[in-house]
């Protein structure tokens, strides 16, 4: 099932080179963004949030939109929401240095300093490679490498000498190997996005319970801006896991999914 979604994403990403659709006209999107930007420049950050939020509510998403929202929320002191939208922007554009810089800066204002569980260095390397691109980014890479393979196969049949055929043949083998790696990374990335859900705490202080009920035993306290993994949901409660392995339950309105 995950493989099917990966290949579906692959073909959707190919189509996105040619077409981009949205519920509201592009001109209206530009007007709303311009109004939000003007409010931001004028220091009317709440009004800027309203304008940007209108696009989010309409289903629009983009690195610039999330980045601007993060900046606006940071200006009004809502660190949790600022980090939330910086994370959303980074999810779309993992290599954007401005987003990463502002996210790191916003994290300095958080209370919690959670030490993650140690990982084997190869796992860290794998995670870094996997997070180098978004789902669409890996899909685009798969598409480009696939096109390169098709071109090499065509060139093989038009080669004028045995030497040229040998060079193209071995080059094709290398490209097939690269394509297999990229497809594997795409599938893993899709699987991660499907199974691993992350969220940001948006309330100033949250008491985590040991069970999904208000009368449950208090387990520990976390604060606004902390990133957590969302593992389960039961009625109005969600099960969260911290980077250090702690697990507990909180009301689902206290955390917003990235």
Q: What is the pLDDT of residues 187-204, one digit of tens each?
A: 988 888 777 899 999 999
116, part of any domain: no
Answer yes or no: are the C-beta atoms of 126 and 139 closer than 8 Å.
no
Q: Match 């990403």 to its residue by tokens.
A: 13
9 and 75 assigned to the same domain: yes
Q: Which of 195, 210, 226 lies at the terminal end of a domain, its last residue?
A: 195
Lowest mean pLDDT among 39-53, 119-133, 134-148, 192-206: 119-133
Q: In terms of domains, do 6 and 102 share one?
A: yes
Query: Which of 89, 111, 108 lies closest to 100 in space, CA to CA?
Result: 89
Give me the sheet containing 205-209, strands edge to edge.
218-223, 205-209, 247-251, 237-241, 227-234, 197-201, 255-257
pLDDT attached to residue 13: 46
Whether 155 and 238 share a structural domain: no
Coil, helix or strand for 200?
strand
Number of compact structural domains in the chain:
3
Residues 243, 191 share a domain: no
> In this structure, is residue 173 part of a structural domain?
yes
pLDDT band at 132 (very low <50, low <70, confident <90, very high): confident
Q: Which domain holds residue 217?
A: 197-257
Answer whether residue 252 is part of any domain: yes
- Taking 60 as the threshold, does the pLDDT of residue 1 lie above it? no
In the predicted model, what is the mean pLDDT of residues 28-32? 87
- Give the highest mean pLDDT range of 15-19, 30-34, 198-202: 198-202
| Residue 189 resides in a domain | yes
Instruction: Check residue 23 and give its pLDDT.
Output: 53
Of 195, 230, 246, the residue at which a domain comes to its end is 195
User: Which of 116-125, 197-206, 234-243, 247-256 is predicted least confidently?
Assistant: 116-125
User: In the listed set 195, 216, 236, which residue is the last one of a domain according to the structure?
Assistant: 195
Q: Round to the nearest angstrom and report the end-to-end CA distance of the chain.
A: 23
Residues 233 and 247 in one domain: yes
Q: What is the pLDDT of residue 120?
A: 72
């Amino acid at each position: 099932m995950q493989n099917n979604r990966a290949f579906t994403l692959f073909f959707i990403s190919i189509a996105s080179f040619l077409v981009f659709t949205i519920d509201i006209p592009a001109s209206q999107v530009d007007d709303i963004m311009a109004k939000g930007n003007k409010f931001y420049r004028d220091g009317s950050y709440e009004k800027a949030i309203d304008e940007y939020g209108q696009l989010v509510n309409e289903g629009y998403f983009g690195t610039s939109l999330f980045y601007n929202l993060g900046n606006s929320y940071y200006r009004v002191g809502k660190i949790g929401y600022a980090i939330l939208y910086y994370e959303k922007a980074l999810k779309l554009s993992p290599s954007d240095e401005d987003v990463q810089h502002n996210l790191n800066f916003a994290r300095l204002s958080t209370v919690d300093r959670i030490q993650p569980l140690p990982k084997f260095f190869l796992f860290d390397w794998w995670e870094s490679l996997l997070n180098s691109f978004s789902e669409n980014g890996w899909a685009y890479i798969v598409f480009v490498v696939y096109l390169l393979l098709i071109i090499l196969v065509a060139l093989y049949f038009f080669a004028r000498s045995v030497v040229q055929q040998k060079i193209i043949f071995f080059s094709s083998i290398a490209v097939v190997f690269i394509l297999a790696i990229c497809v594997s990374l795409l599938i893993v990335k899709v699987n991660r996005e499907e199974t691993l859900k992350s969220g940001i705490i948006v309330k100033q202080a949250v008491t985590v319970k040991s069970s999904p009920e208000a009368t449950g035993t208090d387990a520990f306290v976390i604060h606004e801006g902390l990133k957590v993994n969302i593992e389960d949901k039961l009625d109005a409660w969600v099960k969260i896991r911290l980077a250090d392995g702690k697990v507990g339950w909180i009301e689902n309105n206290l955390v917003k999914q990235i």
